């Protein structure tokens, strides 16, 4: 079975579950009517199902390769990317002043999900370019904007982010890449970066790198980092790719999955770069790009989960073992639970996107706080769901799932990275219980109040589901209050299960909305979520509040398996 973009499912959530109508009611996004949104989803769905999905296995079997210093893309990827660019999909949410559509992030993330389900390795290219567009829109000079944004938005050029170094992974402040002023307004960038997604390719005429580096005399740590635009080819007077810059791809990583996406080790040897934003303020500019990418990665997880689930259901319908295995209780449990989690993760991601849209349209601080709070949840729960569902897909296939020709294993291999890049899910969870609870829990409590109010309002129409959700939300409120009284290291020990528990409560909230506004299928799916997924919160919240003593009390030697008498 080939991938079919879940247009109707996404459209239902935008119309009935998350507040997309409020976004369309703003002056900024007035053109994003329900009819327009549906038309955009339909067109993007056709591209994903008919053009991108057929290339997915080719990218896995014929990875990108490095030949004579140039990356050659997987078969068909150049044409696939050109279809994305020609359709205007790179610039869905970009500023119309530079050629973008100016549409809400909720629609952009919906398209991103479908592209990820169709072909994650290829979708990474526009995702990174979109993040660079956003960083430049917010922080670059007018001259850099005028030169780079039209080329990036049109898909003529592509963009990357360069943070990680061999000795500086998540600890970005330890980077050693240098930036020396050249005396003419440019800088000479020297250093090495690793894990650079789509760091080079032949699908665009120029690759534009945003590189973190340290200026002479700058402070140590993240406060002394600046951001620079370093193109593969230096633009000439007409803005076209000119002479080659002093940078190169040293090697490509051999990875577990996403083989069609070239992951590059980049070397900069006095390469010409231009400052983006203020000196020593590079992290603020880069985080603009990363926050966009984090939500996008969450939707990647949802997209791959959807694709893996579609394949698993099709196999279960066709595979006969004492009748079609889709009728077997355990197989049905796996498929139903997976479908319930995919719905929850998709709704959380789109709720986060609508909060971003409302903040941009209104400038309201409450919307900004909600978007900030939901971002780590959307990223972590979306990608964890992708991994769980892809793993389930292999299990449903049985032995055939372990055989590459079915394609089930590729989804698991491809999606596994999503819980690691753009900030590991552990970092997302620590961000949630750290910075995102630094307001005394105000943003968390606002969300929980909304969930509780929704459960109370639904009591008359669906008392069983409403009671289950209300109870879970109230328990989560109590756990949040308890966490707020603890020091950060203690919070961090339980951060991951706390984030997961919060995601499930939000998922239950959106399932309840769907049950009230949809048909019997939505009600049945909500019952599955409340009965089989939400109860897991009891164990997760117990772990979230378990403290730190048991973890510090076990010696490193014991962790290594050395149990001396």
Q: Which residues are catalytic?
A: 422
Do residues 203 and 70 lie in contact, with contact meaning Cβ atoms separated by under 8 Å?
Answer: no
Looking at residue 139, its pLDDT comes to 96
Residue with tokens 């997915």: 56
Q: Which of 27-31, 229-233, 561-565 has the lowest mean pLDDT?
A: 561-565
534-539: long-range pairs with CB below 8 Å, 24+: 534/468, 534/469, 534/472, 534/504, 534/505, 534/507, 534/508, 536/504, 537/472, 537/475, 537/476, 537/501, 537/504, 537/505, 538/475, 539/497
End-to-end Cα, the chain, rounded Å: 57
What domains does the chain contain, in order, with CATH numbers?
A: 159-279 (2.40.110.20), 425-552 (1.20.120)
Looking at residue 274, its pLDDT comes to 98
Do residues 123 and 116 lie in contact, with contact meaning Cβ atoms separated by under 8 Å?
Answer: yes
Give the pLDDT band of residue 1 (cuts 50, 70, 90): low
**By C-alpha distance, which of 401, 162, 189, 384 is closest to 275?**
189
In tens, the pLDDT along 218-266 reads 998 888 999 999 999 999 999 999 999 999 999 999 999 999 999 999 9
The answer to whether residue 289 scores a pLDDT higher than 80 is no
d(CA 354, CA 371): 8
Do residues 199 and 264 lie in contact, with contact meaning Cβ atoms separated by under 8 Å?
Answer: yes
Query: What torsion, rounded to 10 degrees, do the Cα atoms 374, 380, 383, 384 define?
Result: -130
Three-state secondary structure call for residue 273: strand
DSSP character string of 464-527: HHHHHHHHHHHHHHHHHHHHHTS-HHHHHHTHHHHHHHHHHHHHHHHHHHHHHHS-HHHHHHHH
d(CA 75, CA 71): 12
Predicted TM-score (pTM) of this structure: 0.97
The answer to whether residue 170 scores a pLDDT higher than 80 is no
The answer to whether residue 174 scores a pLDDT higher than 70 is yes
Higher pLDDT, 219 or 48: 48
d(CA 204, CA 6): 29
Do residues 124 and 262 lie in contact, with contact meaning Cβ atoms separated by under 8 Å?
Answer: no
Three-state secondary structure call for residue 547: coil
């Amino acid at each position: 079975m080939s991938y079919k973009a879940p247009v109707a499912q996404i459209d239902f959530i935008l119309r009935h579950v998350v507040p997309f109508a409020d976004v369309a009611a703003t002056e900024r996004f007035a053109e994003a009517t329900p009819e327009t949104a549906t038309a955009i989803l339909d067109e993007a769905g056709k591209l994903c199902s008919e053009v991108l999905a057929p290339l997915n296995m080719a990218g896995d079997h014929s990875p990108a390769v490095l030949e004579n210093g140039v990356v050659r893309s997987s078969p068909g990827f150049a044409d696939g990317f050109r279809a994305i660019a020609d359709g205007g999909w790179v610039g869905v949410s970009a500023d119309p002043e530079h050629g973008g559509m100016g549409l809400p992030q909720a629609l952009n993330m919906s398209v991103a999900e479908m592209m990820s389900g169709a072909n994650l390795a290829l979708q990474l290219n526009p995702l990174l370019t979109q993040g660079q567009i956003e960083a430049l829109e917010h922080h670059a000079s007018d001259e850099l904007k005028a030169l780079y944004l039209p080329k990036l938005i049109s898909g003529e050029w592509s963009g990357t982010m360069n943070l990680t170094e061999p000795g500086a992974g998540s600890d970005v402040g330890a980077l050693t890449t240098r930036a020396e002023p050249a005396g003419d307004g440019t800088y000479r960038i020297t250093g090495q970066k690793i894990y650079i997604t789509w760091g080079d390719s032949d699908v665009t005429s120029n690759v534009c790198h945003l590189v973190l580096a340290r200026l002479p005399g700058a402070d140590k740590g993240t406060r002394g980092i600046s951001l620079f635009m370093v193109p593969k080819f230096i633009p000439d007077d007409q803005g076209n790719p000119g002479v080659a810059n002093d940078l190169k791809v040293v090697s490509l990583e051999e990875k577990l999955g996403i083989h069609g996406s070239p992951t590059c080790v980049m070397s900069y040897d006095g390469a010409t770069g231009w400052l983006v934003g203020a000196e020593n303020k590079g992290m603020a500019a880069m985080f603009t790009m990363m926050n966009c990418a984090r939500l996008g990665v969450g939707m990647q997880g949802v997209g791959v989960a959807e694709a893996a689930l579609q394949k698993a259901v099709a196999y279960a319908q066709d595979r006969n073992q004492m009748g079609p295995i889709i009728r077997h209780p355990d197989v049905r449990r796996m498929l139903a639970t997976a479908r319930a989690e995919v719905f929850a993760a998709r709704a959380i991601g789109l709720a986060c996107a609508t909060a971003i849209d409302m903040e941009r349209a209104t400038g309201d601080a409450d919307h900004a706080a909600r978007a900030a709070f939901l971002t780590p949840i959307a990223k972590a729960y979306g990608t964890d769901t992708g991994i769980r569902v892809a793993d389930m897909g292999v299990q449903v296939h049985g032995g055939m799932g372990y055989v590459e020709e079915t394609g089930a294993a590729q989804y698991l291999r491809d999606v596994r990275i999503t819980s690691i890049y753009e900030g590991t899910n552990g970092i997302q969870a620590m961000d949630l219980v750290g910075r995102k609870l630094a307001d005394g829990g105000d943003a968390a409590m606002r969300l929980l109040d909304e969930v509780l109010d929704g459960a109370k309002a639904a009591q008359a129409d669906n008392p069983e589901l409403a009671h289950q959700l209300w109870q879970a939300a109230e328990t989560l409120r109590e756990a949040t209050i308890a966490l707020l009284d603890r020091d950060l290291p203690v919070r961090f020990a339980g951060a991951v299960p706390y984030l997961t528990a919060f995601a499930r409560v939000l998922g239950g909230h959106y399932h309840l909305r769907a049950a009230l506004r949809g048909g019997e299928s939505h009600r049945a799916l909500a019952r599955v979520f409340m009965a089989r997924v939400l109860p897991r919160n009891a164990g997760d919240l117990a772990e979230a509040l378990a403290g730190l003593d048991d973890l510090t009390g076990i010696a490193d030697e014991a962790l290594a398996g050395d149990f001396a008498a």
